[in-house]
Amino acid sequence: MIITSARAGWLTRTGVAAALAAGLTAGTATPAATSAQAAFRPAPSHTARIATPGRGNAAATGPHGRKDASFAYYPPQEELVLFGGNNTSTVLGDTWIRRGTSWLEQHPSQSPSARTGAAVVFDAATSQLMLFGGSSQPGSGGGFNNETWIWTGHTWRQLHPVTSPAARANAGLVYDPDMQQVLLFGGYDGSYLNDTWTWNGSNWVQVHPATSPSPRDGAALVLNSASLADVLLYGGFSASTGRLADTWSWDGTTWTRLFPAASPGRVSIAWQTADDTSQNQVLLFGGEPNHGPIRDGTWTWTGTTWAPLTPASSPPGRAGGSMTYDTLSRQVVLFGGVTNRAETHYPATMWKWNGSTWSNAH
């Protein structure tokens, strides 16, 4: 049995793998609005809601479809937390939790303003679900911020570190258990970024590695808990290079480029990645290539290369979906995204991966 101390923040990478697989840890998870946007909540439409004192409203259909939402598992309450994102023209600021098969809309006393592309991760060293940055406008319209927030289980609370990365959206954010720190890379603030930062529990510290990936946003940044040595970064997008298909590893000090024999290609994966701890595999799904339909491929990292998987069923191809590992169900889950290039179809469905195939989680 692995015993972790959230107070002390002790958790090795092998400990994460074993503890998450056993469902025993407080674990890891896989990243200026107008007043009208900040107050926005999706219309009830046909959704039936049941009042639940102190925990919001149970919804029959759950949150509306969206892309670039912040989505992560929150171990202290064994639930998934979803915040924000956007559809074609609206940036969202709603908070939802999912426990088992039920969505529950939250009405926290404090909340980040409506935003899309905010990075989120569970910081096992502090037992806090933290959210950073985001944009108040869809696409590259602006409204970037550099706020740091944590979810307490009932409300959001803004932190005020002395030092923070510059405002941005679509940054990569991951917990590195070997260093017991959250790692942030890149993003977009009107320009594409390639700076590296760590969070020590109270402040952001910029790191100056000897080598670094090129500037980009929407990269897949994920802990590889099957390995003792790496956080993986794959792909992303930059105006100067377009969609990227390079793979990098972070060892706590610097970035090292890897040269796998195969890769998912130039599809700008954008958020659709997770560490499937129970299967000891990093999972990538979908993506939007330069031309043609949005992809529905599922790939895994073998330790030396990317390998395509052939599940019996798959979600429709999508980009900008939100994917994380659900420790309670011991499965990777995928919510939302956009399924067409015109960006008019945002499914509100959730899918789960059992290690060999996808199924609709309803």
Q: How many CB atoms lie within 10 A of CB 326?
A: 24
Cα separations (Å) of 342 from 87, 293, 295, 315? 12, 11, 14, 19
pLDDT tens sequence across 314-343: 999 999 999 999 999 999 999 999 999 999
Q: What is the pLDDT of residue 325?
A: 96
Q: Are 130 and 199 in contact (CB under 8 A)?
A: yes
Cβ proximity of 260 and 306 under 8 Å:
yes
Residue 360 has pLDDT above 90, yes or no: yes
How far is CA 68 from its chain centroid?
Answer: 9
Rounded Cα distance, 82 and 94, in Å? 8
CA dihedral of residues 251, 255, 261, 266 (deg, nearest 10): 130
The whole-number average pLDDT for the span 238-251 is 94
Phi-psi region of 273 (alpha: psi -120 to 50; beta: other; left: phi over 0): beta
Which region among 15-24, 84-93, 181-190 has the lowest average model confidence (pLDDT)?
15-24
Alpha carbon distance 312, 360 (integer Å) = 13
CA dihedral 234, 217, 297, 62 (to 10 degrees): 130
pLDDT at 144 over 60: yes
Whether the pLDDT of residue 96 is over 90: the answer is: yes
- Confidence band for 229, pLDDT divided at 50, 70 and 90: low
Residue 25 has pLDDT above 90, yes or no: no
Sheet holding 306-309, edge to edge: 273-276, 281-287, 295-301, 306-309
The rounded distance, in Å, linking the Cα atoms of 77 and 30 is 16
Domain ranges of the chain: 13-41+56-360
At residue 211, φ and ψ (nearest 5 deg) are -130, 155
CA distance 88 to 137: 10
pLDDT, the chain, mean: 84
Other Cβ atoms less than 10 A from the Cβ of 205: the count is 13
**Amino acid letter for position 179:** M
What is the pTM (predicted TM-score) of this model? 0.84
49 vs 283: CA distance, rounded Å = 34
pLDDT of residue 269: 78
Half-sphere exposure of 203 (CA within 13 A, CB side): 5
How does residue 226 score in pLDDT terms, banded at 50, 70 and 90?
confident
* pLDDT tens for each residue of 116-136: 999 999 999 999 999 999 999
Question: Is 34 exposed, middle or buried, given 0-12, 13-18 or 19+ CB atoms closer than 10 A?
Answer: middle
Lay out the sheet containing 79-86: strands in order across. Answer: 49-52, 56-59, 102-106, 91-99, 79-86, 70-74
- Please answer whether residues 113 and 38 qualify as being in contact, where contact means their C-beta atoms are separated by less than 8 angstroms: yes
**Bridge partners of residue 116, in order along the sequence:** 135
The percentage of the chain sitting over the pLDDT mark of 90, rounded to a whole number, equals 74
To the nearest 10°, the Cα dihedral for 257, 258, 261, 263?
-70
Q: What is the pLDDT of residue 153?
A: 96
- Helix residue ranges per DSSP H, the chain: 13-22, 35-39
Return the higher-pLDDT residue of 23 and 344: 344
Q: Which CATH superfamily is domain 13-41+56-360 in?
A: Kelch-type beta propeller (2.120.10.80)
Give yes or no for a contact between 64 and 46, defined as CB atoms under 8 angstroms apart. Answer: no
pLDDT digits (tens, 9 = 90+) for 27-75: 333 333 322 222 222 333 323 332 333 344 444 579 999 999 999 999 9
